[in-house]
Structure 1
Amino acid sequence: KITGVDETHVFISSGENVRLLCNNALHDCKSTTWIYNRFSRSEAVELINLGMKKTDIERHESLSLGSDCCLNIKNVTKEDYGSYICQQWTDVNGQHQQQGTDAYVFLHVLHVSSSSSQTEISAGHSVTLSCQLYSYSFAGVSCDDWIRSEIIQLFWVNQAGVKLTRSDSRYQILFSSGHCISTLNTTHLNENSEWKCEVTHRNQLKTSGTYTVRISAQADSAIAVIPVHKTKSTLKTFAVFAAPTVILLQIICARRAGRKDSQHPEEIVMNTILE
Structure 2
Amino acid sequence: VSGNTLSLYSIVGGDVSLPCNNVIYPNCSSTIWNYGSIEEVHLGRVKKEELNNRADRLSLGSDCSLHVSDVRAEDAGVYICRQFLTEGEPQHGGDAHVHLSVLTMSSSSPVTDIKPDRPVTLRCSLHTLNGTGRCAPAINQDVSLSWQRVDETDTGLIEAGTNLQGDSRYQVTQLSHCDITLNMTLQREDNNRKWRCQLTGKVETFLDFTVTFPGTSNAVKLPISHIMLFVTLTVMAAIVTIHTTRSNCPPKALHPQAEEASGIELQVLEE
Same fold (TM over 0.5): yes
Question: In 1, Cα distance between the equivalents of 2:30 and 2:155?
Answer: 46
1:46 pairs with 35, 39, 45, which one?
Answer: 39
Match for residue 34 of structure 1?
33
Gaps of 5+ in 1: 38-43, 220-231, 236-275
- Cα 1:144–1:119 change in 2 (3 A) is farther
Question: In 2, Cα distance between the equivalents of 1:88 and 1:72?
Answer: 18
Question: In 1, Cα distance between the equivalents of 2:141 and 2:60?
Answer: 35
Question: In 2, Cα distance between the equivalents of 1:218 and 1:156?
Answer: 25
Match for residue 116 of structure 1?
109
1:163 pairs with 146, 157, 160, which one?
Answer: 157
Deviation at residue 14 of structure 1 after TM alignment: 0.2
The count of corresponding residues between Structure 1 and Structure 2 is 205
Match for residue 16 of structure 2?
18
- Structure 1 residues 32-111: aligned runs within 5 Å: 32-37=31-36, 44-55=37-48, 56-58=50-52, 59-91=54-86, 95-111=88-104
Runs (4+) of structure 1 moved beyond 6 Å?
A: none
Match for residue 242 of structure 1?
none
Deviation at residue 120 of structure 1 after TM alignment: 5.8
Question: In 1, Cα distance between the equivalents of 2:142 and 2:2?
Answer: 16
Gaps of 5+ in 2: 218-256, 261-271
Amino acid paired to 2:145: L
- Cα 1:19–1:161 change in 2 (3 A) is farther
- Cα 1:80–1:145 change in 2 (3 A) is same
- Structure 1 residues 1-275: aligned runs within 5 Å: 6-26=4-24, 27-37=26-36, 44-55=37-48, 56-58=50-52, 59-91=54-86, 95-119=88-112, 121-137=114-130, 143=135, 151-159=142-150, 160-165=154-159, 166-168=161-163, 169-177=168-176, 180-190=178-188, 191-201=191-201, 204-217=202-215
Question: In 1, Cα distance between the equivalents of 2:136 and 2:19?
Answer: 26
The alignment's C-alpha RMSD in Å is: 2.9
Question: In 1, Cα distance between the equivalents of 2:198 and 2:2?
Answer: 27
Based on CA coordinates, which of the two structures has the bigger radius of gyration? Answer: 1
Please, what TM-score do these two structures have when normalized by structure 2? Answer: 0.68
Amino acid paired to 1:172: Q
Instruction: Answer whether contact 1:123 1:216 (CA < 8 A) is retained.
Output: no
Deviation at residue 97 of structure 1 after TM alignment: 2.7
Say which SS state the counterpart of residue 162 (structure 1) adopts.
strand
Please, what TM-score do these two structures have when normalized by structure 1? Answer: 0.67
Moved more, 165-174 or 12-21: 165-174
Question: In 1, Cα distance between the equivalents of 2:138 and 2:106?
Answer: 22
